[in-house]
């Protein structure tokens, strides 16, 4: 504003500051944020310093312990020392400690879904629904198919988690969808096959999605956040 206004007084008034302050910035040729010095010292005493060692021990023993719970215990023991307004200070102190010295956090990778790119499938047991036909119990499973982007879904009734059920359910889903995504994601279905089952023929072994130009992708074994979207969709 010093270059666009007639006087420093007008420029300072429009900037909402005293004219002396405006002259100081103009003389230094620096912005107010550039003139602010970084502070490395405390301006008030740390009331948690005498009990900090005990707090650290509690956090190491129970990593999920909340600052509010710790603060409530401190107030019960020393009510004259800790006031309600100090809770935020303890929360910041614990947050910084967890970032620097706390237990390592599990890393999660964001999954980005794109239309028509990935489909997922899984098997779900439906025995607990207690379905009956003509008074007779009907134990069965559901082959569940879902598009990870739009959550479009369909399913096929089956009686075993097998290649035959996978091939039939996947073919039914593709016909109903009217197209084939780029990738088909499923869990490690072969690990649940019984060793007594006869080996499938080569025509069944060849995945249906390969004949339809969809690339198969299997989930990893253990971390739950890597498991198929169809399994999580079945739970909601």
Q: How far apart are CA 114 and CA 116, in angstroms?
A: 6
Average pLDDT, the chain: 78
> In the chain, which segments carry CATH 3.30.420.10?
118-235
pLDDT of residue 52: 94
Range from 87-101, 165-179, 191-205, 209-223 carrying the lowest mean pLDDT? 191-205
75 has a pLDDT exceeding 90 = yes
pLDDT of residue 19: 81
116 has a pLDDT exceeding 50 = yes
Assess contact for 132 and 148: CB atoms under 8 A.
Answer: no
pLDDT of residue 47: 86
21-52 pLDDT per residue, tens: 878 777 777 776 676 777 676 777 888 999 99
Helix (H) and strand (E) counts for the chain?
10, 7
185-194 pLDDT per residue, tens: 887 555 444 4
Instruction: Sort strands 183-186 and 215-218 into parallel, antiparallel or unpaired.
Output: parallel
Decide which of 158 and 10 is more confident: 158
187-214 pLDDT per residue, tens: 755 544 444 445 544 444 444 444 455 6
With b meaning 16 or more CB within 10 Å and e meaning fewer, what string describes 147-176? Answer: bbbeeebbbbebeebbbebbbebbeebbee
Assess contact for 81 and 48: CB atoms under 8 A.
Answer: no
Radius of gyration of the chain (CA): 32
Domain at 118-235, CATH class:
alpha beta
pLDDT of residue 82: 92
Instruction: Report yes or no on whether pTM surpasses 0.85.
Output: no
Q: How far apart are CA 159 and CA 175, in angstroms?
A: 21
Assess contact for 183 and 111: CB atoms under 8 A.
Answer: no
222 has a pLDDT exceeding 70 = no
SS (H, E, C) 105-120: CCCCCCCCCCCCCEEE
188 CB-near residues (< 8 Å, 6+ apart): 218, 219, 221
pLDDT of residue 232: 44
């Amino acid at each position: 504003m010093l270059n666009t206004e007639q006087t420093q007084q007008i420029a300072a008034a429009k900037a909402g500051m005293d004219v002396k302050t405006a002259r100081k910035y103009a003389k230094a040729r620096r912005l107010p944020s550039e003139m602010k010095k970084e502070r490395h010292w405390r301006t008030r005493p740390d009331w948690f310093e005498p009990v900090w060692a005990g707090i650290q021990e509690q956090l190491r023993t129970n990593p999920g312990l909340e600052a509010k719970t710790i603060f409530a215990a401190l107030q019960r023991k020393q009510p004259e020392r800790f006031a309600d307004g100090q809770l935020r200070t303890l929360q910041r102190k614990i947050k910084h400690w967890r970032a620097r010295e706390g237990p390592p956090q599990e890393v999660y990778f964001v999954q980005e879904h794109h239309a028509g790119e990935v489909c997922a499938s899984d098997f779900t047991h439906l025995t607990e629904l207690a379905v009956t036909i003509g008074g007779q119990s009907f134990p069965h499973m559901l082959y569940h198919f879902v598009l990870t982007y739009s959550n479009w879904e369909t399913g096929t009734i089956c009686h075993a988690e097998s290649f035959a059920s996978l091939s039939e359910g996947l073919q039914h889903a593709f016909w109903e969808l009217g197209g084939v995504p780029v990738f088909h994601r499923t869990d490690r279905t072969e690990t649940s096959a019984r060793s007594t089952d006869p080996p499938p023929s080569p025509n069944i072994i060849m995945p249906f999605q390969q004949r339809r130009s969809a690339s198969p992708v299997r989930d990893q074994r253990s971390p739950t956040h890597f498991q198929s979207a169809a399994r999580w969709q079945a739970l909601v």
